[in-house]
Chain A
């Protein structure tokens, strides 16, 4: 169970440009739920993820995981149970290291980074099998530097790497937005498979309304730091892209766009 309680987040506080994004925002996500978050730019989707992961500090409120208060826990400590994939494929991998080296490093998450060798040759076959299921031909490029791969290939690797070790939460920040439609589809299917297999509590921010409808068991729409639409379980199944699109238009009209 992940709980956000009365979160207050002010950007550029104390200046004339002070903007209050969240003012008493609360959200709770039960275990194993796959939540899709949609909303226009600036609605607070990415800020929400950054607050959960500890990438940005909050001004007031509490963040609880399974009842434990993690509000003051630094970002890297929170990642002990969080896997995260970013919109920019370059952020999830090391460009100057090879595929095998990247996979080996990700596999070591949660264990000490000590003076033992990082690459374990015995595991190469295991990694190869994991890469083969992507269908991108990466299994034959174990010695290639990741910087030489395409965005889609890197993003597929980032997704694999972030979910290799036991984690509880998967945070996806528009992770298909920088990809071509076909690659995005492959990455989305892989995401669905991994989440189901590993039973991860997942929060996915997306601009693709179809993905928000097809995947997950809860959909949230955010607007100006508030949840304006929230459907889960049975109710979520009735939600269509038209519902979401209609809601988007309604909001835009209200805002005078």
Chain B
């Protein structure tokens, strides 16, 4: 039971990350490496604020903002200075590593003695029977809010333009709009969500670690692909719902593999192999950019 709960909890935290990466990877078709540093950026900002005695609730908008700035930076480097998409992300990712260290102050920060989203007066006041489920309920609420907001955004005029930019940049220009600006906006939104996920992860595990971002993009892409490919048959599901379920499903698979005796040493290897298999099986091996040309 506790294994199931922790799968759900972590799956939900990574669902926010996956929703962010869904914007860049699926909608904009942009391989955004910034993610590996914007995830710990959210965590670093959170660690700093919580240590400073600020309300855990305030960390949510703060990390969103920090991530948005990081994403916009990648966007500006790519769009205005014509640096290739992958490289632009790697440059910002590398630079942010130092920024994260500066923000957090140290490579490891423990928050065991502070209040967080999951450990505060409100949660302690809940009946004892509900308490074990408090984290999963709080997380479900946040993920639901993020998902609904994202669905709503994608139906707006700005959201339409975002989808069109990933689909057909020429059309965006003929609509008298600058596709470059839309890309910067998309990267900004995506990394805001990624940093939010990092913020929540930091409060959930109650420590910040500088290396907590390693492999974030791969994990997120795996969740996105599991969601959109495996649940492809269920037409009634919105893509955002599929991504959330994909994230939980993916976490479940990893937990299952570990409980069946997989050594944690092999975890990344298995992750990489699993992702490769999903990508090849799902026909994702070629970039889809020119598919419809």
- Chain A interface (Cβ within 8 Å of chain B)? 74-77, 79-80, 82-84, 86, 88, 90-97, 101, 104-106, 108-119, 147, 162
Contacts of B292 in A (CB 8 A): 90, 95, 147
B43 lies within 8 A of chain A by Cβ? no
Q: How many residues belonging to B are interface residues under a CB distance threshold of 8 Å? A: 24
Contacts of A105 in B (CB 8 A): 157, 160-161, 164, 175
B158 lies within 8 A of chain A by Cβ? yes
- A79 and B156 contacting across the interface, CB-CB below 8 Å: no
Contacts of B174 in A (CB 8 A): 79, 82-84, 92, 162
- B164 and A94 contacting across the interface, CB-CB below 8 Å: yes
Q: Can you list 23 A-B contacts with CB-CB less than 8 angstroms, sorted by A residue number?
A: A75-B173, A76-B173, A76-B177, A79-B174, A79-B176, A84-B174, A88-B293, A90-B168, A91-B170, A91-B171, A92-B170, A94-B168, A95-B167, A97-B160, A105-B164, A108-B157, A108-B175, A112-B157, A114-B156, A114-B158, A117-B157, A118-B159, A147-B292
Within the complex, which residue of A79, A96, A108, A110 is in contact with B167, where a contact is CB–CB below 8 Å? A96
- B168 and A101 contacting across the interface, CB-CB below 8 Å: no
Contacts of B176 in A (CB 8 A): 76-77, 79-80, 109-110
Interface of A is mostly: loop
B163 — nearest CB in chain A belongs to which residue?
A97
Within the complex, which residue of A77, A82, A115 is in contact with B157, where a contact is CB–CB below 8 Å? A115
B161 — nearest CB in chain A belongs to which residue?
A113
Within the complex, which residue of B156, B163, B172, B173 is in contact with A96, where a contact is CB–CB below 8 Å? B163
- B177 and A94 contacting across the interface, CB-CB below 8 Å: no
- B158 and A113 contacting across the interface, CB-CB below 8 Å: yes
Contacts of A108 in B (CB 8 A): 157, 160, 175
- Chain B interface (Cβ within 8 Å of chain A)? 153, 155-161, 163-164, 167-168, 170-179, 292-293
Q: How far is the CA of A108 from the CA of B174 in the complex (A)?
A: 12
Contacts of A74 in B (CB 8 A): 178
Chain B proximity of A116: nearest CB distance (Å): 6
Within the complex, which residue of B167, B175, B178 is in contact with A97, where a contact is CB–CB below 8 Å? B167
- A113 and B157 contacting across the interface, CB-CB below 8 Å: yes
- B164 and A118 contacting across the interface, CB-CB below 8 Å: no
Chain B proximity of A10: nearest CB distance (Å): 21
Contacts of A86 in B (CB 8 A): 170
Chain B proximity of A93: nearest CB distance (Å): 7
- A113 and B177 contacting across the interface, CB-CB below 8 Å: yes
Q: How far is the CA of A239 from the CA of B176 in the complex (A)?
A: 36
- A116 and B157 contacting across the interface, CB-CB below 8 Å: yes
Chain B proximity of A121: nearest CB distance (Å): 12
- 14 extra interchain contacts, Cβ-Cβ under 8 A, other than A90-B292, A114-B158? A79-B175, A84-B174, A90-B168, A93-B168, A96-B163, A97-B163, A105-B160, A105-B161, A106-B175, A108-B157, A113-B161, A117-B155, A117-B156, A147-B292
Contacts of B153 in A (CB 8 A): 115
Known: A74-B178, A95-B168, A109-B175. A118 touches B157 (CB 8 A): yes
Q: How far is the CA of A86 from the CA of B161 in the complex (A)?
A: 20
Contacts of B161 in A (CB 8 A): 105, 113
Contacts of B164 in A (CB 8 A): 94, 97, 105
A111 — nearest CB in chain B belongs to which residue?
B157
Contacts of B173 in A (CB 8 A): 75-76, 79
Chain A proximity of B28: nearest CB distance (Å): 12
Q: How far is the CA of A106 from the CA of B177 in the complex (A)?
A: 11
Chain A proximity of B68: nearest CB distance (Å): 16
Known: A88-B293, A105-B175, A110-B176. A94 touches B167 (CB 8 A): yes
Within the complex, which residue of B158, B160, B171, B293 is in contact with A93, where a contact is CB–CB below 8 Å? B171
Within the complex, which residue of B155, B167, B168, B293 is in contact with A118, where a contact is CB–CB below 8 Å? B155
Q: How far is the CA of A243 from the CA of B233 in the complex (A)?
A: 59
- A92 and B171 contacting across the interface, CB-CB below 8 Å: yes
Q: How far is the CA of A76 from the CA of B170 in the complex (A)?
A: 10
Contacts of B170 in A (CB 8 A): 86, 91-92
